[in-house]
Chain A
Amino acid sequence: MRLEYFEMIDTVTLFDAAQQRIVCRATVPDASPVFEGHFPGHPLVPGVLLTETMAQASGYLVLGLNRLSQMPFLMAVDKARFRTFVEPGAVLVIEAALTVEGSGYAATKASITADGKPVCDAELRFRLMPFPAELGALMRQRTAAIGLVPEAVTS
């Protein structure tokens, strides 16, 4: 994870097109400017960044399923629950499953665990739009960097 750059996902460990499911992994850095404010002397990953982490895993799932044909933008977060604290150095497992494939939108259920224990979960929705200029190439680069290569996936 590079919190300051919003690079929340380190690797994709499973992409299952048939089950419309993804599992990712991310290690919280030991140090980050984020922890200087949240909170001084008591570093915790903010819930909003855990939400972003679930959103990115979901987003990569959608990108994998649509083979990077449309960009998912987060449009709704429902039923978000934060069940425990996440400290520097934690290893997170992020799972997301597609629940609805609509026309122009997609919905997922996502969760994060650490050491097998639930950290947080939420239902997320994304607006699907054509890639803005240059973002397509960037996302292609980023998905390859984390090990998600939709071209190689057979559904």
Chain B
Amino acid sequence: MSSTFETVAGIISETCDIPREKITPASHAIDDLGIDSLAFLDIAFAVDKAFGIKLPLEQWTQEVNEGKAPAEQYFVLENLCARIDGLVAAKTA
């Protein structure tokens, strides 16, 4: 997870012009870092490319909007990184 986090934090810092030191595993992408949905698509594009995966953003957004999942489940960075690791593992399995 730590290397995944480093990659994701670097992407967020570069894409959203957020100082790297402000980004921690406990950061909530929306509430703490102020990342909006358009910026998150930029991040998803870079994450998809970096890890060779397809983040199911539409599904996650729908689940959050319908109250089926808390936003933290997907948008707190340590949780996001765990899901990225899961997608990478599923791809290579």
Number of A positions contacting B (CB below 8 A): 11
Question: Quick one: CB contact mask for A87-113 with B, threshold 8 Å, 1 for yes?
Answer: 000000000000011111101000000
Complex CA–CA separation, A121 to B20 (angstroms): 32
Number of B positions contacting A (CB below 8 A): 14
Instruction: Name the residue of chain A whose CB is nearest to the CB of B48.
Output: A102
Taking a contact as CB atoms under 8 Å apart, the answer to whether A104 and B61 are in contact is yes
Q: Which of B1-9, B25-33, B38-46, B63-71 lies at the interface?
A: B38-46
Question: Is A127 an interface residue, CB under 8 A from the partner?
Answer: yes
Complex CA–CA separation, A103 to B57 (angstroms): 6
Taking a contact as CB atoms under 8 Å apart, the answer to whether B38 and A104 are in contact is no
Question: Quick one: CB contact mask for A33-77 with B, threshold 8 Å, 1 for yes?
Answer: 000000000000000000000000000000000000000000110
Question: Is A21 an interface residue, CB under 8 A from the partner?
Answer: no
Complex CA–CA separation, A29 to B38 (angstroms): 35
B residues apposed to A, CB below 8 Å: 38, 41-42, 44-45, 48-49, 54-59, 61
